[in-house]
Amino acid sequence: MTEVLPIRHLVAALIVLFSAAGFASPISVGGFSFEAGEIAFADTASLVSGSGVRFTCTTGGTAASSYAEALSGSDTTQCVNVSGGGDGIVEVQFTDNLVQNGAGTDLVIFEVSGPQPPGTSDPAEHFEVSVFNGTAFSAFVGSDPVATGFGTPDTTLEIFAVQIDLSSFGIAPGALVDRVRLHLFNNGLGSKGGDIAAVGALNSVPEPSTATLLTLGLLGLAMRRRG
């Protein structure tokens, strides 16, 4: 006969599944704690339009070979920026998770710049952000990165952050977002603009297909056959 496992076993199985998927390994970047771990960070990126946007800038690491490599994961040793009078739009996408509009900050965009006192806003690294609402991208909103006081492997650079509340982009409470766009340009303030190193979801939920696989796995563990 087939017997359903007790609820305590179901809970234990769920914990195992989520742990295996990386949901139970919180990490900290620039003073922000990401409870979903590495999976909370963007997975890929591509150039949408423009020119002069490069993915070879580094902060003490090895230059990336693509926009996707530069902006995937929590690694802040690689970045994208503009050269000379460059101006372009880079789209960043989450594929194994989604960003949910919850309470407070939902998304953090990490930028790297010369050291400044924590909490200092840096208009010289200004860039713009647009959010996809499931139908269209919002208008771009300008942002100045703020110093976190946390360093990078390059001792001349530190981590800055822009905190994004999806509500300010017209996203409904509880709604899910999988894409954002970054408008990078030479702002003429003595810097070539933002050096974007990572994009992470503070309010992260599994992408539906991932959640389905977890559920199926749980159901498989929940049933056992007795002779």
Buried b (16+ CB within 10 A) or exposed e, 130-144: bbbbeeebbeeeebb
- Backbone φ and ψ for 123, nearest 5 degrees, come out as -65, -20
Q: Which domains are present in the chain?
A: 33-204 (2.60.120.260)
Q: What is the pLDDT of residue 215?
A: 44
Of the pLDDT bands very low, low, confident and very high (cuts 50, 70, 90), residue 189 is: confident
Q: Report whether pLDDT(67) > 50.
A: yes
Q: Which helix (H) or strand (E) holds 60?
A: none
- pLDDT at residue 45 above 50? yes
Local confidence band at 218 (pLDDT 50, 70, 90 cut-offs): very low
3 state SS of 118 = coil
Q: How far apart are CA 145 and CA 149, in angstroms?
A: 12
pLDDT at 100 over 60: yes
Number of other CB atoms surrounding residue 208 within 10 Å: 10
pLDDT-based confidence at residue 55 (cuts at 50, 70, 90): very high
Could you tell me the pLDDT band of residue 5, with boundaries at 50, 70 and 90? very low
| Continuous H helices in 160-207 | none
Query: For position 18, what pLDDT does the model report?
Result: 47
The burial of 154, by beta-carbon neighbours within 10 Å (0-12 exposed, 13-18 middle, 19 or more buried), is given as middle
Asked if residues 55 and 62 have their Cβ atoms less than 8 Å apart, the reply is no
Q: What is the pLDDT of residues 136-179, one digit of tens each?
A: 999 999 999 999 999 999 999 999 999 999 999 999 999 999 99
% pLDDT > 90, the chain: 74
Q: CB under 8 Å to 29, separation ≥6 — which residues?
A: 74, 76, 108, 110, 150, 159, 198, 200
Asked if residue 221 has pLDDT above 70, the reply is no
pLDDT at 71: 98
β-pair type (78-93, 179-185): antiparallel
Q: Is the pLDDT of residue 223 over 50?
A: no
Residue 22 pLDDT class (50, 70, 90 cuts):
very low
Note the pLDDT of residue 209: 59
